[in-house]
Amino acid sequence: MSGSENLRDRTRAFIRDVVLPAEPPHGVTLSDDRLADLRGQARDAGVFAPLAPTEFGGHGLPLAQWSPVLQEAGYSLIGPAVLNAMAPDEGNMHLLNLVASPAQRERWLAPLARGEVRSSFAMTEPHPGAGSDPRALTTRAVRVDGGWRITGRKRFISGARGAAFAIVMARTSEDERDGATMFLTGLDAPGITIGPDIHTIESAISGGHPYVTFTDCFVPDAEVLGEPGAGFRYAQMRLGPARLTHCMRWLGLARRAQDTALDRAAARSLFGSPLRELGVAQALLADSEIDLATSDAMIERTAALLETDARAGEALSSIAKVHCSEAIFRIIDRAVQLCGGDGVTDGLGLIQYLNEVRPFRIYDGSSETHRWAIARRASSARTREVAAGAHRLDVVDPDPAE
């Protein structure tokens, strides 16, 4: 058994034996003290921080091995947080590990990997600022003696309330390709205001999704993340894997919903037959198995490609994000339907799962935005093929004179 398979199996056992019994009632937030206690148990079980660098106490799993472990963690809504593998922290850890200076790694990455603090990623802005299109960025950073001054307003900054620091995207020039820079700053720095809060239907991410306002906030040169002007490139380095980890975690929750539906179908009878033997139920269960398998395969292929060809992997991550976000919703929705009246109560939790995953079709780029990008890439690729000599296939009756 490989190390990653062993970690997957230990994570599976820990989630089912320790985390599931510790889940708070639906609609109740896990307390910080209880989270700290569960994280201590995760450390003792050797399953804490599966993605974090080994130098800071993590397991340092390569991207291609993330999915089985994160799916097991995602079987519980609180599992990823207990294992320190929840957004936005895991995405920030990934980026900091790739780009941060040694001093930044010690100051920001080390406590984040150890689970001592939380973080946020401040890119999204009120309209007409950056949202699905990062290049619409309006927050500005201006050079001053010894550093930069940031001014602008962000919204939907997941995890910001209670977070220790943020990675902030700000425009530093008008260059279309190299006009943004990433900065690291504590969220208690002068010039930063957190709030008001934005209330959403899901609650899995600690710290909510508030506004964050920067007013002449000073950040020293030492806290520029990577190279000035490379912010858009770094954003893609972060967003591709981050989209995929959302797919992994939520696919784990979809597996739990399917297990709930399978248990109900085995235990209940209708019109004189076990529910699982009725064709209408079998069709729902089968369609969910198809969605689980295709999502799993898409995630695995995209993760492998991101490690070998980042550009192609980022393009495929758009396809994976659309497919998985919609398939996961369908799986949980079918489970609700199969469980009937109990499915819409807080007893089974399915309706809460539906609330948790519904925003994923909007977060990290809406399905419509990704479809627009996917179609553009496909059209451009085909145009290049035809220009290079490939036969056009839409010509029914070519004019011999042409």
**Rounded distance, CA 59 to CA 151, Å?**
38
- Alpha helix positions (H), 100-170: 102-104, 110-113
pLDDT at 97: 96
Same CATH topology for 3-86 and 232-385: the answer is no
Ordered by start, the domain boundaries in the chain are: 3-86, 119-229, 232-385
pLDDT (0 to 100) of residue 28: 78
Angle at CA of residue 122, ends 121 and 124, nearest 5°? 115
Report how far residue 141's alpha carbon sits from residue 139's, in angstroms, rounded to the nearest whole number: 7
Asked if 52 contacts 59 with a C-beta cutoff of 8 angstroms, the reply is yes
Nearest to 321 by CA among 360, 282, 275: 360
Where do runs of H (alpha helix) occur along 268-363? Answer: 279-308, 310-338, 340-343, 350-357
Q: Helices (DSSP H) in 139-275: which residue ranges?
A: 231-267
Segment 266-277 mean pLDDT:
88
Give the DSSP letter of residue 187. Answer: T
Q: What is 232-385's CATH number, 1.20.140.10, 3.40.50.1820, 3.30.200.20, 3.20.20.10?
A: 1.20.140.10
- Pair 179, 173: CB distance under 8 Å: yes
Would you call 52 helix, strand, or coil by DSSP?
Answer: coil
Report the run of H or E that residue 216 belongs to, with start and end: strand 212-220
What is the CATH code for 3-86? Answer: 1.10.540.10
CATH 2.40.30.110 for domain 119-229:
no
In this prediction the pTM is: 0.93
CA 210 – CA 194 distance, rounded (Å): 7
pLDDT in tens, 354-396: 999 999 999 988 999 999 999 999 999 999 999 999 999 998 8
Report yes or no: 243 and 303 within 8 Å, Cβ to Cβ. no
pLDDT digits (tens, 9 = 90+) for 122-146: 999 999 888 777 778 999 999 999 9
